[in-house]
Amino acid sequence: MAELGLCIYQFEYLLQEQLPELNIHFRSQSFHTSMYASSWFLTLFLTFLPLPVATRIFDIFMYEGLEIIFRVGLAILQYNQTDLIQLDMEGMSQHFQKVIPHQFDSCPDKLILRAYQVKYNPKRMKKLEKEYTTIKNKEMEEQIEIKRLRTENRLLKQRIETLEKESAALADRLIQVEYCAPLSHRPLANLCLTHTFSLSFSAIVFPVT
């Protein structure tokens, strides 16, 4: 069984190619293909259509594979295009749930005949499969690169935090050493400052005459 994402990708292409007005309407209402078609590919219409119709489709699927699922899906949309274009998202959802499943109760073969009138190019579908695989591989590579960069960023932050702590600890030690060291061991700048202060104080207490 093909990946669901691939089936949706291929079905969207067929929808755009064969039912462009309906496709534009779906997009304008944010009515995504996966919202109505996912169950078609996952259950082969067994949970969407009445059992007599669904078993008929399933029998063909056993011989022809997924092609019949694409054909039936597009046939359903073609049959309902006029009604769907007049509806908003909520209305379309209700139409898919309550109206479409019972349209072919009396004559399952009517849907099958419509399905085989749908244009289907196996070579084009194979090309779409390659395109989809390329896209997914690129996305996977990008995700791996993003994950690597995030890991490096996290490690860099940890290293910076460690260096900041080490720097702070070193500064504290230097202050303590500076404070506790004898006058003779302190830096020359401090000695000069002390000597200058002493001279200034002497000048104030014992002014030069």
DSSP string, 60-77: HHHHHTTHHHHHHHHHHH
User: Do 153 and 113 reside in the same domain of the chain?
Assistant: no
What is the rounded distance in angstroms from the CA atom of residue 181 to the CA atom of residue 20?
86
Average pLDDT of span 122-134: 95
User: Do 112 and 18 reside in the same domain of the chain?
Assistant: yes
CATH number, domain containing residue 24? 1.10.472.80
> Domain range spanning residue 147?
143-202
| Residue 110 pLDDT | 92
Greatest pairwise CA separation for the chain in angstroms: 129
User: Do 17 and 115 reside in the same domain of the chain?
Assistant: yes
Nearest 5°: CA angle at 157, between 152 and 162?
Answer: 125
Across all residues in the chain, what is the average pLDDT?
Answer: 84
- Total structural domains within the chain: 2
133 occurs within a structural domain: no
Band (46; pLDDT cuts 50, 70, 90): very high
Q: What percent of the chain shows pLDDT beyond 90?
A: 60
User: Do 50 and 151 reside in the same domain of the chain?
Assistant: no
DSSP per-residue letters across 95-115: IIIIIGGGTTSS-HHHHHHHH
Lookup: tokens for 146? 């993003």
User: Do 54 and 16 reside in the same domain of the chain?
Assistant: yes
37 occurs within a structural domain: yes
Lookup: tokens for 203? 């000048």
Band (105; pLDDT cuts 50, 70, 90): confident
User: Do 8 and 111 reside in the same domain of the chain?
Assistant: yes
Average pLDDT of span 26-55: 95
Q: Specify the pTM.
A: 0.69
pLDDT digits (tens, 9 = 90+) for 145-158: 677 677 777 777 77
User: Do 70 and 13 reside in the same domain of the chain?
Assistant: yes
User: Do 94 and 162 reside in the same domain of the chain?
Assistant: no
